[in-house]
Amino acid sequence: MLTSTFIMLKPDAVKRGLTNTIIQIFQENGYQIKRQKEVVVDRNLILKHYEEVIIRVNKPYFEQAILDFFDGQKVIALELQKEGDHVIEDVRALVGATDPAKADPSSIRGRYGEDSLEASMSQKRTLRNLIHASDSVESAKQELSLWFN
């Protein structure tokens, strides 16, 4: 059975010219790209995408930090597919820990990350960690629907 998940290559990955490199890593690991599109992010889309995170983080500056990082910027939205039951977990392992400074050096964030959670929090800005990857089947379905209508 093919399982799908959602990936967003964030503005920092796009600006650094890492999109093809990251996509190639997924393909080399057996993932197929079912859908891909470049999106210029608008306020409503990104706030809907990060709605739960904004509530969970509960920092007064966080919503504005997300807007500062994403609004009007290009991202690449991907639907990845692979055979198996653990696609979401396997993709997240390949991507690496949220904090690039703590990510496995062989992961995407470990190899290409240039930021840390500590730095982003002290500067009250969004963590530049290259990629968003769905964390559950439910969030993958919701995010795929949001980004691919």
Digit-coded pLDDT (tens) for 27-81: 999 999 999 999 999 999 999 999 999 999 888 899 999 999 999 999 999 999 9
Task: Parse the chain into domains and list their residue ranges.
Answer: 2-148
Closest residue by Cα to residue 127 from 94, 103, 98, 106: 98
Cβ(72)–Cβ(44) under 8 Å?
no
> Contact 27/33 with Cβ under 8 angstroms?
yes
Q: DSSP secondary-structure letter at 58?
A: -
**pLDDT tens digit string along 104-141?**
999 999 999 999 999 999 999 999 999 999 999 999 99
Q: What local confidence, expressed as pLDDT, does residue 99 receive?
A: 97
124: left (phi over 0), alpha (psi -120 to 50) or beta: left
The domain 2-148 having CATH identifier 3.30.70.141: the answer here is yes
Catalytic residue among 9, 112, 132, 147: 132
The pLDDT assigned to 35 comes to 98
**pLDDT score for 78:** 98
> Alpha helices, DSSP H only, in the chain?
11-15, 19-28, 43-49, 51-57, 62-70, 87-95, 108-112, 117-122, 137-148
Sign of CA dihedral 51, 115, 33, 104: negative
Q: Which residues contact 16 (CB under 8 A, 6 or more apart)?
A: 112
**At 83, is the pLDDT very low, low, confident or very high (cuts 50, 70, 90)?**
very high
Predicted pLDDT at 127: 95
Confidence of residue 149 (pLDDT cuts 50, 70, 90): confident
The pLDDT, as a whole number, for residue 28 is: 97
The pLDDT of 85-109, averaged and rounded, is: 97
Residue with the larger pLDDT of the pair 143 and 85 = 143
86 is catalytic: no
- pLDDT the model gives residue 1: 86
